[in-house]
Amino acid sequence: MTGNSNLEAVAKRLRDAYAAGPVPPLRDVLAPTDAEGAYRVQAINTRLWQDAGRRIVGRKIGLTAKAVQAQLGVGQPDFGVLFDDMALADGGTLDPAAVIQPKAEAEVALVLARDLDNPKATITDVIGATAYVLPAIEIVDSRIADWKITFADTVADNGSSAFFVLGTEPRLLAGLDLRTCGMVLEIDGALASLGAGAACLGHPLNAGAWLARTLAAAGTPLRAGDIVLTGALGPMVALAPGHRVTATIGGLGTCGFRFGERE
C-alpha cells in the first residue's frame, strides 16, 4: 500500500499545480489503476479545501463512456467533488486564467430532494430522490501535463474537474426520456459535439445509481440538495479564449457561457 507521506506529497503536488501549472503524470507514486490510493489523494485535498472554507455542493461522474474506460484500462466510472466556487452562472464568463488546459462537455445534472444513502441504490431510488434535472456544461481541466492521464491521475486530480454551468429552467423527470435525448454542443454557433443520453453508461440515471451506491458504501452518501453531474453525453471540446459555448439537450433546454475574450 502506498504510504501516507507519499500520498500527502502527491496531493500537494496537485494543489500547487492550480497556480504553478501542470505536473507530470503521478506514476512515480500511483500505479495507473490504483483506485484506492487515488481516492485517498482526492480525499486529502477535499478535506484541506473544506478546512479553507470551500463548501461541497455535489459530485461529478466521469469516465461514463465505455471507449474512454477502455482507453484508461478500467471498467468503471470515477467521481470528483463539486465545490460552491466551481459554479459559473448560465451566460457568464470564465476567466481563462482560472484554468490550465480546459475542455467542455455537455451533461445532464440531477438536483436531489432527498438523501441517497442506500448502498444498493437502483435507478428507481435515484428517480425517487431527484427533485429536478437541468442541462449542464462541465468545464473539465487537468493538472496533469498534456492530459496524459491514467485512471489514477484523473481520480487523484478530483476527476479532472474545474467549473460547471447549470441551466436555469428546472425540469421534472416525469415525461423525460433521458436515454434517447439528443445533445448538441456548439462553439460560436458551430456544431462541435453531438451525443445522446445513452452515451452515459447507457442512461444518465445508471450513472446516478452507480454514484449513489459507491458513495453510500464509502459512508459519504449523496444528500438532499446535492448537484450530480452524471457524465458526458458526447466528446469533450477544447476551449480557446473568446469561445462562446452553448449546450442544448432534448427536453431539458439550453445553457452556456463565454470563455474569456477573444485574443
- Structurally, what CATH architecture does the domain formed by 4-259 represent? Alpha-Beta Complex (3.90)
Q: Are 230 and 204 in contact (CB under 8 A)?
A: yes
User: What are 24-52's pLDDT values in tens digits?
Assistant: 999 999 999 999 999 999 999 999 999 99
CA distances from 225 to 114, 116, 132 (A): 7, 11, 10
Domain boundaries, the chain: 4-259
User: What are 128-148's pLDDT values in tens digits?
Assistant: 999 999 999 999 999 999 999
Residue with cell string 472554507: 53
Q: Which of 166, 163, 140 is nearest to 62 (CA)?
A: 140
Alpha carbons 81 and 61: distance in angstroms, whole number: 9
Alpha carbons 18 and 25: distance in angstroms, whole number: 15
Q: Are 100 and 71 in contact (CB under 8 A)?
A: no
Q: What does pTM read for this prediction?
A: 0.96
Alpha carbons 161 and 14: distance in angstroms, whole number: 12
Average pLDDT over residues 13-29: 97
